[in-house]
């Protein structure tokens, strides 16, 4: 009686290639998923340092100038040239204390805050503190209409995404960061800033003294 031949259990080269390709695809997908989560997660470094009563390096940016605003005489020589080419970099503001406010025209709490910021600009601009609006995730014309409605005269820059907000650790709007003349973040208000918080933060930026992170009023999640 002849022996019965059994089928071979060996995997062909094409089979191994298929398995390898499948495993590689899964690994690549997981890597991209992890990268996507970590690369978009807000950086919490600033608030951690502020909680320890320390300042933090202000993340750099280079953004389109939406509106140049009206500068007081004390800031004209230093800030006007930085705004003139239609793009503003943080490095160009070194030597000037800055109040950096993240906002958008679709943010309802930002409407409550806008008159307060404009009043703060009239007060602190004369003392050499720059109030700078950063409009994010917004349409330019909607943002300009907002500025006209509230008669905003401080300079405004624009980030069509939320990359700068993520670098600063902002998870919603409005949020306000107080930056010293040495480009160090010395304070942070999460939500609508009160007049008292704005004045305290601007003074901290002016003298370079850490003021910590504070909860403000209402805010909206970033889109």
- 19 vs 109 pLDDT, higher one: 109
| Closest C-alpha to 147, from 96, 124, 155 | 155
Three-state DSSP class for residue 7? coil
The answer as to CATH 3.30.1600.10 being correct for domain 45-221 is no
**Could you tell me the residue ranges of all domains in the chain?**
9-41, 45-221
- pLDDT bucket at 28, cuts 50 / 70 / 90: very low
What string of DSSP letters covers 132-200?
EEEEESS-HHHHHHHHHHTT--S-EEEESSSHHHHHHT--EESEEEEE-TTSEEEEEEESSPPHHHHHH
Question: Mind listing the pLDDT tens digit for each residue in 172-207?
Answer: 999 999 999 999 999 999 999 999 999 999 999 999
Average pLDDT, the chain: 88
Residue 16 has what pLDDT?
52
């Amino acid at each position: 009686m002849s022996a019965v031949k059994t089928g071979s259990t060996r995997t062909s080269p094409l089979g191994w290639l298929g398995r390898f390709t499948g495993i590689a695809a899964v690994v690549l997908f997981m890597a991209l998923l992890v990268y996507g989560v970590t690369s978009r997660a807000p950086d919490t470094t600033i608030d951690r340092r502020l909680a320890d009563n320390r300042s933090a390096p202000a993340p750099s940016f280079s953004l389109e100038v939406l509106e140049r605003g009206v500068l007081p005489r004390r800031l004209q020589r230093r800030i006007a040239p930085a705004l003139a080419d239609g793009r503003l970099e943080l490095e160009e503001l070194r030597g000037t204390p800055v109040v950096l406010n993240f906002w958008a025209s679709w943010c309802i709490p930002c409407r409550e805050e806008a008159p307060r910021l404009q009043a703060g600009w009239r007060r602190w601009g004369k003392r050499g503190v720059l109030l700078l609006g950063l409009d994010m995730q917004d349409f330019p014309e909607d943002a300009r209409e907002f500025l006209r409605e509230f008669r905003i005269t401080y300079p405004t820059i624009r980030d069509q995404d939320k990359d700068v907000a993520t670098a600063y650790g902002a998870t919603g709007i409005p949020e306000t960061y107080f930056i010293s003349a040495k480009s160090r973040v010395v304070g942070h208000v999460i939500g609508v800033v009160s007049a008292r918080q704005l004045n305290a933060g601007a003074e901290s930026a002016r003298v370079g003294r850490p003021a910590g992170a504070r909860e403000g009023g209402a805010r909206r999640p970033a889109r």
